[in-house]
């Protein structure tokens, strides 16, 4: 089985690329979606987050994501400390869930599994993948996309960008880079090209 990591900065279009790969028939898991599910449904996680950030982050059936973002994204050291502590609560559970999914697909003989994770390099997971694909786009376009879908201010978007590695560093560590600064058709062509290459490459496990 080929295990692919898919990453990129906020607003680069990772989710769009992930959906294109799903349409191609690939199995794709999103770390963000997994984290949201765990934070919403796991009572132990909810209690730990409330203890860290205060009971006001708890709402009926889930968490107040806007309040959490307000507490963990910002310029102060306090924001950074809260974000680091939140990551320590959530990330190990997300990793454990993905490891279970990967094992199930290995046993089932699935050809390719993709894990989409914004923080793949930041948490040092790149060595666990056979290949890593980075999605990139110009910063001004990234800002526009994030603000259009979320209504965040320039400062709020920049705060989130600062929590991730600069894109030049991610590109340098990538095996493949998808450029997402043009039209949807351009993106589809790029994704198709890279996906075709990955499908043609030999399975590293089979080579062993």
Tens of pLDDT, residues 134-184: 999 999 999 999 999 888 888 888 888 888 999 999 999 999 999 999 999
Instruction: Please tell me the predicted confidence (pLDDT) of residue 62.
Output: 82
40 falls in which pLDDT band (50, 70, 90)? confident
Neighbours of 6 (CB within 10 A): 28
What mean pLDDT is reported for the chain?
A: 93
Instruction: Please tell me the predicted confidence (pLDDT) of residue 65.
Output: 87
**Partners of residue 178 on adjacent β-strands:** 135
Instruction: Say yes or no to pLDDT of 208 above 90.
Output: no
Q: Report the C-alpha gap between 197 and 200 in whole angstroms.
A: 5
155-164 long-range Cβ contacts below 8 angstroms, 24+ apart: 156/69, 156/73, 157/10, 157/11, 159/73, 159/74, 159/75, 159/79, 160/10, 160/73, 161/9, 161/10, 163/73, 163/83, 164/9, 164/10, 164/118, 164/119, 164/122
Residue 118 CA, distance from chain mean position: 3
With b meaning 16 or more CB within 10 Å and e meaning fewer, what string describes 40-75? Answer: eeeeebbebbeebbeeebbeeeebeeeebbebbbbe
**Residues 29, 30, 31, CA angle at the centre, nearest 5°?**
120
53 falls in which pLDDT band (50, 70, 90)? very high
Instruction: Please tell me the predicted confidence (pLDDT) of residue 207.
Output: 59
Instruction: Say yes or no to pLDDT of 203 above 70.
Output: yes
Determine which of 13-22, 115-124, 155-164 has the lowest per-residue pLDDT on average: 155-164
184 phi, psi to nearest 5 deg? -65, -35
Instruction: Please tell me the predicted confidence (pLDDT) of residue 195.
Output: 98
Instruction: Say yes or no to pLDDT of 19 above 80.
Output: yes
Neighbours of 90 (CB within 10 A): 19
More confident residue, 42 or 205: 42
53 phi, psi to nearest 5 deg? -105, -10
Whole-structure pTM value:
0.90
202 phi, psi to nearest 5 deg? -65, 145
111 falls in which pLDDT band (50, 70, 90)? very high
Instruction: Please tell me the predicted confidence (pLDDT) of residue 152.
Output: 83
Instruction: Please tell me the predicted confidence (pLDDT) of residue 151.
Output: 83
- The encoded tokens of residue 178 equal 């998808």
Residue 149 CA, distance from chain mean position: 17
189 falls in which pLDDT band (50, 70, 90)? very high
């Amino acid at each position: 089985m080929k295990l692919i990591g898919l990453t990129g900065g906020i607003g680069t279009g990772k989710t769009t690329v992930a959906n294109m790969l799903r349409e191609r028939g690939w199995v794709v898991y999103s770390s963000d979606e997994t984290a949201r599910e765990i934070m919403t449904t796991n009572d132990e996680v909810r209690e730990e987050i409330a203890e860290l950030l205060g009971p006001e982050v708890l709402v009926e059936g889930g968490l107040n994501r806007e309040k959490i973002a307000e507490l963990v994204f910002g310029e102060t050291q306090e924001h950074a400390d809260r974000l680091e502590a939140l990551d320590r609560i959530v990330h190990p559970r997300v990793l454990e869930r993905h490891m279970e999914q990967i094992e199930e697909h290995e046993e089932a003989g699935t050809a390719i599994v993709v894990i989409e994770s914004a923080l793949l390099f930041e948490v040092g997971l790149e060595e666990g993948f056979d290949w890593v694909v980075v999605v990139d786009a110009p910063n001004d376009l990234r800002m526009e996309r994030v603000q259009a879908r979320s209504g965040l201010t320039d400062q709020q978007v920049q705060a989130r960008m600062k929590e991730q590695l600069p894109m030049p560093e991610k590109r340098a560590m990538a095996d493949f880079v998808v450029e997402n600064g043009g039209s949807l058709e351009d993106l589809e062509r790029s994704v198709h090209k890279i996906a075709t290459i990955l499908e043609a490459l030999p399975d590293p496990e089979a080579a062993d």
